[in-house]
A = this chain, B = another copy of it.
Amino acid sequence: MIIVMKAGTPEAEIDKLSQELTTNWGLTPEKIVGRHKVVIGLVGDTVYLDPLQLREMSSWIEEVLRVERPYKRASLEYRQGEPSEVLVSTPAGNVPIGLHHPLTIVAGPCSVENEEMIVETAMRVKAAGAQFLRGGAYKPRTSPYAFQGHGESALGLLAAARKASGLGIITEVMDAADLDAIEEVADVIQIGARNMQNFSLLKKVGARNKPVLLKRGMSATIEEWLMAAEYILAAGNPDVILCERGIRAFDRQYARNTLDLSAIPVLRGLTHLPIMIDPSHGTGWAEYVPSMAMAAIAAGTDSLMIEVHPNPKKALSDGPQSLTPDQFDKLMGELAVIGKVMNRWPKPVPVLA
């Protein structure tokens, strides 16, 4: 953090300010005196400081400028530039997600509707090459009158699908009270976009040791998103995957959100955490999913989350953005072409006899 003092600031004011920074804020202010201006560099753990707060300390302050990042455990520097992997234990063994591993594919319906549909979907996406099944038991819906998910009973259906398919399970938590039940079936716990800054919930999943999939809030800056991840990391859980799912911009006439694929190279330069892209929510329409999934792989994502439903026309939620299993099969074939030339496509897993 750098404090720029106005030209002509009295020496006494600078001393008083330096004193206060030392005593009240635990910092080592480093005075750098120029011909016209004095600049105070702050040495110490500035991650805990708020530039806005500092600026109020004296009316002689011209500007307070943050040079360092406001997050720490999420930063690339925290691991000396080395990407981290999240190792997820699934019925089929440990699946690593991260830059030095093949692409991880997550697929499944928006919500778990009944046993038949979830097991069928699981078997189909597994056969097509997915490693994880997604499916919501608790659904955040804009309207209180829309289908809210089958709740706890859906968790049992996910368990059945997990057992039948051997896929890992990713499902969303909306209420901390459901965490115990969710943990019994989920291999990865999802925090949805609307709860990205539900700090109570972040702290609670941070206190568990299940991997967490943290979706980006609809209007969250990259920095706010990393700060949300920092909440989980700081609470003790090191296994966070960042999932971009479309941001809110000014045009929602065609694509319902704006999928920010530049988040991939931006995050690579800032954080060690693995990256997932969700082109289904990211665009809102099934017809746009294939080209955005292709693009995500070419841009270097570590994983993809794609909505698949056995009968999108009858889906209780998000039908318009779901692929059918047949469309998903076809897409996986196309993704494999790009994935292979990017050296990120999974080798075929030997089937257990």
Contact = CB atoms under 8 A, between A and B. Distances in A.
**What is the total number of copies of this protein in its complex?**
4
Interface size class of A (residues with CB under 8 A): 35 or more
Contacts of A131: none
Contacts of A4: 2, 67
A36 B28 CA distance: 11
A307 B160 CA distance: 52
B146 A48 contact: yes
Majority secondary structure, A binding face: mixed
Nearest to A296: B295
Contacts of A70: 142-143
A296 B296 CA distance: 10
A2 B36 CA distance: 13
A250 B39 CA distance: 30
A174 B231 CA distance: 15
A227 interface: yes
Contact of A294 (B43, B223, B290, B298): B298
A287 B269 contact: yes
Interface stretch (A8-16, A91-99, A256-264): A256-264
Contact of A313 (B56, B230, B231, B292): B56
Interface of A: 2, 4, 30-39, 41, 43, 47-48, 50, 52-53, 55-57, 62-63, 65, 67, 70-71, 140-146, 148, 174-177, 194-195, 197-200, 203, 218-219, 221-224, 227, 230-231, 234-235, 247-255, 258-262, 264-266, 269-270, 282-283, 287-288, 290-292, 294-300, 312-313, 315, 317, 319-320, 337-338, 341
